[in-house]
Structure 1
Amino acid sequence: MHNHSRKQISNNLLSNIAYVMLLLLLAWLPIPLGSNRPWAWSMMEVAIFSLFGLTLLSYSLNYVKQTLALYWPIVLGLGIFVVFQIIQIVPLPSQLVALISSNIYLLKSSYAVADAEQWMALALDPTQAVISTIKGISYYLLLLATLLLINNFNRLKWLLICLIAIGTWQAFYGSLMALSGVEKSFFWQFNNNNAANGSFVYKNHFANFLMLSLSIGMGYLVAMLNKGKTRLNRAHLTNVLAMFTSGKVTLRIALAIMVIALVLSRSRMGNTAFFVALSISGLMALWLMRDKSKSLLMLLISIFFIDVVILGSYFGIDKVKERIEDTRIETEIRGDVNEYSVELIKLFPETGTGGGSYYSTFEMVKGDDVKSFFDHAHNDYMQFTIEYGIPATMWLALLIIVTLLHAFRAMKHRNSKMLQGVGFATAMAIIGMLIHMTVDFNLQAPANAAIFHIILALAWIAHSGLKSKKYIEELA
């Protein structure tokens, strides 16, 4: 890419406005209860559609095609899933529905009006499926906009800083609420207790959001490590002293604040997912990033010792440990719910019951022993399989695994410190999400789902993007 064309891309006024819109959107998403209210996710959708439209206007068609071609597996793969979401809500000939899913056809025929319907949608609850599809399209467009807008290291750097700052603010606010003892939260006036949940309603969604933010922060810290061997000579000691006047100390304080809030959330799997994801990503990085092995090892040891042992002990990680030990008793009803939910998978394995339909279809199979109302399965894998069927869920799983492998490859093959760090960040975030999804419905919270799509985009950028050697990295 020539300098002239690169300047045109970087300095385009419309693209700069779109980029700022992206950062402001990310800052806003967690504030209105994790955007998990109809009015909040509607605002998110309008903002994302506007952002994507402005992004398209910013660049030539040739640039859009060439850029997205770099990331074609995720662009095509996720696009196919979005098309499937649309197919679920489009009326189809009843004979075709019977051929695709006999149980959907039988169920819909049983409550059809007297003049038998000739056309019907695959979704059992078309209204909820439309809502889920619009969300899905907006997440997809957010991913595409990110792939198009993050075309230089400066934009990548400030996107990472923005995500870290948002997580730190949420962590500070959540910790303040948990430690304050006030009855009502400062914002939204929700009942407050000693478990941190930030501006989210559900503490596990808050913990998941922090886990994603911590992953980005850890990756940025890895990007700032010095290459080569770590020796305790005078020059190294000077570097250590210089660190205390650089952005590294600010970043470590931000990470410490987020760890404190994660512990205060009392989320069992949120804490488990973070520490397991950090351990796995750290071991992979030690294996793959050979030029940073010693400094990386020292960093990981400091994270575990300072953040886990000291901060965790002071702010009550023992309470999280107690909750983990008591998990079997506390989650017994959740296990029953999962057993009943499996029946829905058996009934509708081909195309599922339709996006957003779990809360209504679960009533069909739940036993008399389940008295509570469940609007989500406490397992994202199960909910996706119920609502979209086994083939579509397997397709999504394949996309995520391929993206994770590309994040690992970025750590190994990219020469850029920043891109290696982004590879670490996205690998850790994906592993953490895959773990946390086993017991919660984090991807049903729009703020978390949107941030996760950004992280998927960043994994592909780390592996396949920003390849010009003339780009200059500027780390804080």
Structure 2
Amino acid sequence: MPFIGRKKLCSFRDAMSVLGSEKKGKREAALKPRSAIFIRAVSPLSQEVSWGQRALLGAAVSLLIFAPLAYGAVHPWSYYPLGLAAALLSLILLGQGLIHLGITPPPWLVWPRPPLWWAALGFMGLVLLQTIPLPRVLVGFISPRAIHLRALGNGYGLADFLPLSLNPYATLLEALKLWPALVLFYLLIYAVSSRTQLKGLAGCLLAVGLFEAIYGFWQFRSSLIWGWKNPYTGLRLCGTFINSDHLASFLTTVTLLGFGLFLAERRKAPPLPEGLSGRERLRRWSRAEYLEPRLRNGAWLFLVLLLAVALIFTGSRGGMLSLTVGFAVLGGLAWSRQAEKGHWYFIGAFVAVAVLYSLFLGSSPYLGRFLDLDHRARYFAFQGALALWREFPVLGAGLGTFGEPFYRFQPAELRGIRYLQTHSDWLQLLAETGLLGFLLLAGAWLWFFLHLTKKWRERQDPFVRGLGLGGLAGLAAGAFHALGEFPFHIPGFALTYAGMAALTYLTVHHHQVPEHFSYASLTPGKYLRAATWLLLGLMGLQLGFMVRAWHWWQAERAAPTELDSTRPVPTLTAEDFRRALACNPWNSRYYAGLAQALEAENPGPAADRGDVAGLLRQAIQRAPAEWTHRFRLGEFYLNNYQQGPEFLAAALKEFSAAVALFPESGFLHYRLAAALDWAEKYYSGLVPSELRGRSGYHREYALTLEPRLGKALTAKP
């Protein structure tokens, strides 16, 4: 806990250092008034835990439960409230810190030092750097490819000040989805104060995993999630996640945590006396003191076995491989300690029984998916991510923007498929945040894992060794699965992973007698003014986040543009988009949607439709790599070419920009070829010089990509 007063828990080592700092002559006098505070600090179980602590911890656990059950919190109606709730809890905790700064004597102010604070600060700085407008010259120096993409067509993506991100709204939205996980990680570290709460937190994660498994088997054939028919999973177990692979990520980490909790709570029966006959040994084994530990261990292990079997029925090859890697990490760490080499027998027996039991239940089709080696689509996505990183090597294309610039590398074989994710979180991190962001976050994970491993090796407490071992294995398995999937883009999994990271961190630093945590701490009493301003600054940051999230949520409710497969696509009017833009002027789709709505509602002359071209230019300014905005603007200019000679040239340039952003689209090449043929025949003087004589090339390429377009090439635009 962050505060030593008010029945809060601090580091025992820090409390001892405070007592030891008294001069020898004053120690006895100083000990008396501080003894009560010291007892509360090192033995909080002897006192009633404050209602505020219970409320914070209960609310944090509620978020851990809600996120996976709400379809993994992938829809706006779930991830916006999740972010608002996490920010509110953070405000309460920071407000509590301000109160303690005012009422607690400075020598007794001892707070846990937040782990990975430098990584969190660096991540926020990276997002800020990607989204704030910078001078065009500076953007061109850091990311010349961004200037090139913005200058395509008529250069509507350019301005005097530009962000580094190719879509600042997408970058901020992705950060908003990740923010609750970051907040929850620190909230749990500051809220958990006892071993009982550690067990409760681990039990909560395990209970959610068991519910996912049981609910998934219950709805296995119907593929229903809360009454909604899931069309994406087939006959694979999905639980309350839309994608079975994401459920597999969740079950992998929870299974390993459950196995670690089994090792921590495993009870041993008392040894039998020597020299007993076989009949006498059997009679002794039937007694309660011998039978109860074995039954308890068996029941606990069966629950974990159910999680592993459910994982197999998801059919996720990456999930099963990740579980294997997690058990290998668990076994390797156990092998490094002589006293725990016997864990290898448990691991081998557990995996064998899980596979055999799943085969008995009919899992052979799911295990047989390992024979399917056709993963060309993912390989293309991996190659596209690496190509994107080569174009944006330093700071990336922008967090959350992969789906837009990937069209430049998407082959014709994937025609009709939109890849919003790379199917590799690590490669997508490299492409979207560049080498700087990748080294920051990958380095932070590696440092954190090695730090926890080092602390775990130093501990002798069986509870810490068991639960810490399961937590470390779960963290490793989750990171490994992210090599071939995108679980961290699912807020429900990201929140669970953050909770497991906090649980593991607290476990390896927990000591039972006297009960305390040995993590590094801060003494803000020496810097009261700086600590006050720091807390006020963090509160201001959370308030700003809440205001932004609230307005964006209201905009999304007015004119939904984000994916929500659980609800029908609504018919939106121009007024809906105007209300959305009033709340969120960052989203390029609102501008494009308003332009489309104005054209649909006013099919007459262009003068009666409002500034459709201006709206589409605004969309291009905010998302210059989105080819659909370029194409729609080109269509508008071409359909209204009679209003001015500049419209035809502008239309051809925007079509050319759309082709440059999606070069493997036969339709775009066909549209540009048809427009060039018509323009060169009737208005040859208006064709831009760089496009003259290019219609033949685009025609042939369109036929190569899509031969069925041959008949359509003779039609006029």
- TM-score normalised by L of structure 1: 0.88
Return closer, same or farther for 1:63/1:399 CA change in 2, 3 Å cut-off: farther
5 Å-filtered alignment, 1:386-405, equals: 386-405=431-450
- The aligned counterpart of 2:407 is 363
Structure 2's unaligned 5+ residue stretches are 1-11, 13-37, 275-280, 518-717
2: CA distance, partners of 1:305 / 1:114: 61
5 Å-filtered alignment, 1:2-81, equals: 2-5=38-41, 7=44, 11-59=49-97, 60-61=100-101, 66-69=110-113, 71-72=114-115, 74-81=116-123
1:264 aligned to 2:310?
A: no
> Identity of counterpart residues, as a percentage?
19
Counterpart of 1:343 (choices 387, 399, 410) is 387
Counterpart of 1:221 (choices 246, 250, 262) is 262
1: CA distance, partners of 2:391 / 2:489: 23
SS of residue paired to 2:510: coil
Aligned residues: 461
1:274 aligned to 2:302?
A: no
Conserved? CA contact 1:10–1:151, under 8 Å: no
5 Å-filtered alignment, 1:223-242, equals: 223-225=264-266, 241-242=291-292
Q: CA deviation at 1:125?
A: 0.7
- The aligned counterpart of 2:146 is 104
SS of residue paired to 1:369: helix
Structure 1's unaligned 5+ residue stretches are none
Q: Which stretch of the first structure deviates more once superposed, 188-197 or 83-92?
A: 188-197
Q: CA deviation at 1:413?
A: 1.0
- The aligned counterpart of 1:319 is 365
Return closer, same or farther for 1:455/1:323 CA change in 2, 3 Å cut-off: same
Q: CA deviation at 1:410?
A: 3.5
1: CA distance, partners of 2:272 / 2:234: 47
**AA partner of residue 241 (structure 1):** L
State the Cα deviation string for residues 404-444 of structure 1 (Å, max 9, x = none). 22332233212322322232122211221222112111111
2: CA distance, partners of 1:218 / 1:53: 35
Counterpart of 2:209 (choices 160, 167, 170) is 167
Computed over aligned residues only, the root mean square deviation of the Cα atoms, in angstroms, reads 2.9
Return closer, same or farther for 1:230/1:358 CA change in 2, 3 Å cut-off: farther
- The aligned counterpart of 1:152 is 194
State the Cα deviation string for residues 1-34 of structure 1 (Å, max 9, x = none). 4222353997121111010011111111111110
Which fold has the larger relative contact order, with Cα–Cα distance below 8 Å and residues 6 or more apart in sequence? 1
State the Cα deviation string for residues 173-216 of structure 1 (Å, max 9, x = none). 112222xx336444333247421000111000011011111121
**AA partner of residue 450 (structure 1):** L
**AA partner of residue 498 (structure 2):** H
- The aligned counterpart of 2:583 is none
Q: CA deviation at 1:302?
A: 3.2
Counterpart of 2:515 (choices 467, 471, 475) is 471
2: CA distance, partners of 1:353 / 1:114: 18
Return closer, same or farther for 1:278/1:115 CA change in 2, 3 Å cut-off: closer
Q: CA deviation at 1:375?
A: 1.0
Conserved? CA contact 2:213–2:239, under 8 Å: yes
2: CA distance, partners of 1:373 / 1:279: 36
- Which is greater in Rg? 2
State the Cα deviation string for residues 340-398 of structure 1 (Å, max 9, x = none). 33211110111111111011111122222321211111111111111111221122111
5 Å-filtered alignment, 1:291-302, equals: 291-294=339-342, 296-302=343-349
**AA partner of residue 442 (structure 1):** P
Counterpart of 2:336 (choices 280, 287, 310) is 287
Return closer, same or farther for 1:21/1:260 CA change in 2, 3 Å cut-off: same
Conserved? CA contact 1:64–1:148, under 8 Å: no
1: CA distance, partners of 2:328 / 2:180: 33
Counterpart of 1:457 (choices 496, 502, 506) is 502
Q: CA deviation at 1:109?
A: 4.5
**AA partner of residue 414 (structure 2):** V
SS of residue paired to 1:155: helix
- The aligned counterpart of 2:163 is 121
Return closer, same or farther for 1:46/1:241 CA change in 2, 3 Å cut-off: same
Return closer, same or farther for 1:438/1:212 CA change in 2, 3 Å cut-off: same
Counterpart of 2:230 (choices 190, 196, 200) is 190
5 Å-filtered alignment, 1:372-451, equals: 372-451=417-496
Conserved? CA contact 2:309–2:355, under 8 Å: no
2: CA distance, partners of 1:467 / 1:394: 33
**AA partner of residue 409 (structure 1):** K
Return closer, same or farther for 1:141/1:118 CA change in 2, 3 Å cut-off: same
